[in-house]
Amino acid sequence: MTDPSETLDAHVLPVVRLRPKANARAIRHGFPWVYADELVVDRRTRGLAPGAMAVLQDAERADLGVVTVNVNSKIVARVMDQDANATIDRAWLAGRLRRALAMRERLFDAPFYRLVHAEADGLPGVVIDRFGDAAVIQPNAAWADRMLPDLAGALAEVTGVSTVVMNGSGRARGLEGLDERTEVLTGGVPAPIEVPMNGATYLADLTGGQKTGLFYDQRPNHAFAQRLSRGARVLDVFSHVGGFGLAALAGGAESATCVDGSAAALSLAQGGARAMGLEGRLTTRQGDAFAAMEAMAAEGQRFDVVICDPPAFAPAKQALEAGLRAYERIARLAAPLVAPGGYLCLCSCSHAADLTAFRNASARGIGRGGRRMQLIHTGFAGPDHPMLPQLAESGYLKSLFFRLDG
């Protein structure tokens, strides 16, 4: 007999209700979030533990589905299932994981990809990256933190991975009121894992690296830059573990210089080049990227291909103006480093800066850098980072490729 405490039966779940002016139609049409000012937050709702499940109703008491509630977050409720009778348990999680896995197995020949892209894969606030026989979970919502044993168990059951790491770092967990911690839940990670991608070899540190240890989202943009880099001198600024630089070397670049503030990340980039047998063609430069670009310009250095892939300068609307100024500054400093007829790739992972705003800031910066430009390609995240059309935040990555003259 099943212990009732082990399942979350919708028939016994508490009910939370939208305010009369909240947009219930958007929820019905697939928008996954309810903001704090859209929900009736009474004493009973405040008493729900962060991450608890509830049935969401509109102001007329019609069911909208099962949601997870966290009154400590600006996103006070996240839609788990539009079926108000759904039971959110390990079997439900396994079903969502199987759906996500089926698409990745169709898209990729090897098990190195983003397996779960949060709301777009029906698991709100959850990111899971796969590294062969290992996987890293980022439980960035309170419900996922609460159900982590079930989530990790379902992940191992569905994929067969033997190592599962929980990475609980980053801004998103703070917004949910969650602590920062990283731990190995099952198996072990004795050393950085070799990850094949676009013919290059990357080293991913699953326990001590940034985010899950590697950024899969730039895979198609690495490939495009790789085509531009044959026989070229390449500069990869904000390189992390050598994302663009190692792809360029794998594609026949003459040389690659990686610039990053993290000595540990640059060491992994060097390890990747060593694994490829191309260590002699990689140069690293540790330090502030802005200062490094200014110094290289003063030194008269020029490159055939320059890529700048900075962190999110505009992670929220409040930071948009300052973020766009930073993107413009990057373009202004990078443009003089590009040889005549060379290529400049500028990237943004800020969802608050839409494509038009980012493109305009980049063009202004290139112009201020004294260069004329052609925009030849606009890239986005790979298909293992699907976009939920109703949620603009799920389509955050933009990569602009320019050819510069003058």
Work out the end-to-end distance of the chain between its first and last CA atoms, rounded to an integer number of angstroms.
76
User: For residue 328, what are the contacts with CB-CB under 8 A and spacing of at least 6?
Assistant: 361, 362, 364, 365, 368
Give ranges for CATH 2.30.130.10 in the chain: 4-81
* 319 DSSP assignment: G
Cα 212 from Cα 202, distance rounded (Å): 13
Q: What is the pLDDT of residue 6?
A: 40
Least Cα distance to 210 among 162, 175, 261, 158 occurs for 261
pTM given for the model:
0.94
Q: What is the pLDDT of residue 11?
A: 55
For 230, the token pair is 């044959």
Secondary structure of residue 110 in the 3-state scheme: coil
Sequential DSSP letters for 185-222: EES---SPEEEEETTEEEEE-TTTSSTTSS--TTHHHH
Q: What is the pLDDT of residue 1?
A: 36
CATH fold of 193-405 reads Rossmann fold (3.40.50)
Gyration radius (Cα) of the chain, Å: 23
Provide CATH code, domain 90-186: 3.30.750.80
Known active-site residue 349 = yes
For helices 148-159 and 90-107, the axis angle rounded to 10 degrees is 40
Each residue of 83-111: pLDDT tens digit? 999 999 999 999 999 999 999 999 999 99
Give ranges for CATH 3.40.50.150 in the chain: 193-405
* 281 DSSP assignment: G
Positions of the chain with pLDDT lower than 50, given as ranges? 1-10
E strands present in 123-275: 126-131, 134-139, 163-168, 181-186, 193-197, 200-204, 233-237, 255-260
Q: What is the pLDDT of residue 12?
A: 86
Provide CATH code, domain 4-81: 2.30.130.10
Burial of 36-59, coded b for 16+ CB within 10 Å and e otherwise, reads eebbebeeebeebebbbbbbbbbe
Give ranges for CATH 3.30.750.80 in the chain: 90-186
